[in-house]
Amino acid sequence: MRRAGRDLARPSDPRTTAWWRDAVCYEVFVRSFADFDGDGVGDLEGIRGRLGYLDLLGVSAVRLTPFYLSPMADDGYDIAGPRAVDPVLGNLDTVGSLVAEAHAAGLRVVIDLVANHTSDKHTWFADALAAAPGSPERGRYHFLDGRGENGELPPNDWRADDGGPAWSRAADGQWYLHLFGPGTPDLNWADPEVHADFERTLRFWLDRGVDGVHLAAASGMAKTPGLPDVELSGADPRFDADGVHDIHQKIRKVLDTYPHAVYVGEPATTDEARFARYVRPDELHLAVDPRLAHTPFDADALQASIERGLDTVARTGSPPAWALAGHDLPRLETRYGGGERGLNRARAMALVLLGLPGAVSLYNGEELGLTGAPTRAPIPWEGNTPPYGFSALPGAWESIPAAWAPFTVEAQLEDEASTLSLYRRALELRRDHPAFEGEELEWYGAPPGCFAYRRSPGGLICALNTSAAPVPVPRGDVLLASAALVEGRLAADAAAWLWLAP
pLDDT digits (tens, 9 = 90+) for 2-25: 333 444 543 333 334 589 999 999
> How long a stretch of residues is the chain?
502
Please give the distance of CA 16 from its chain centroid, rounded to a whole number: 23
Q: Which of 304, 315, 331 is nearest to 419 (CA)?
A: 331
Which pLDDT score is estimated for 10?
Answer: 37
Which pLDDT score is estimated for 12?
Answer: 34
**Is the separation of the CB atoms in 78 and 183 below 8 Å?**
yes
Q: Which of 138, 193, 202 is nearest to 171 (CA)?
A: 138
Residue type, 206: L
For residue 360, what are the β-bridge partners? 24, 322
SS3 label, residue 282? coil
Triad 372, 375, 379: Cα angle to 5°? 95
Q: Spell out the alpha helix ranges (H) of 140-292.
A: 192-206, 244-255, 272-277
Task: Report the C-alpha gap between 113 and 437 in whole angstroms.
Answer: 32
Task: Report the C-alpha gap between 374 and 372 in whole angstroms.
Answer: 6
Task: Report the C-alpha gap between 22 and 117 in whole angstroms.
Answer: 31
Which pLDDT score is estimated for 4?
Answer: 39
Q: Are strands 108-114 and 212-216 parallel, antiparallel or unpaired?
A: parallel
Q: Quick one: 182 exposed, middle or buried, by C-beta within 10 A (0-12, 13-18, 19+)?
A: middle
Distance linking the first and last C-alpha atoms of the chain: 25
Q: What is the CA radius of gyration of the chain?
A: 23
Q: For the chain, which ranges sit under pLDDT 50?
A: 1-7, 9-16
Please list, in sequence order, all residues whose beta carbon lies within 8 angstroms of the beta carbon of residue 217, skipping any fewer than 6 positions away.
Answer: 114, 115, 116, 117, 179, 180, 268
Which pLDDT score is estimated for 235?
Answer: 83
Q: Which of 19, 9, 101, 112 is nearest to 55 (CA)?
A: 101
Which pLDDT score is estimated for 231?
Answer: 82
User: Rounded to 5, what percent of the chain is helix, strand, coil?
Assistant: 30, 20, 50
Residue 214 to residues 64, 65, 251, Cα–Cα distance (Å): 9, 9, 12
Which pLDDT score is estimated for 17?
Answer: 58
For residue 486, what are the β-bridge partners? 489
Please list, in sequence order, all residues whose beta carbon lies within 8 angstroms of the beta carbon of residue 54, skipping any fewer than 6 positions away.
Answer: 26, 62, 105, 107
Torsion of CA 1, 391, 216, 117, to 10 degrees: -160
Task: Report the C-alpha gap between 380 and 365 in whole angstroms.
Answer: 8
Task: Judge if the upstream peptide bond of residue 290 is cis by omega within 30 degrees of 0.
Answer: no
Which pLDDT score is estimated for 232?
Answer: 77
Which pLDDT score is estimated for 16?
Answer: 40
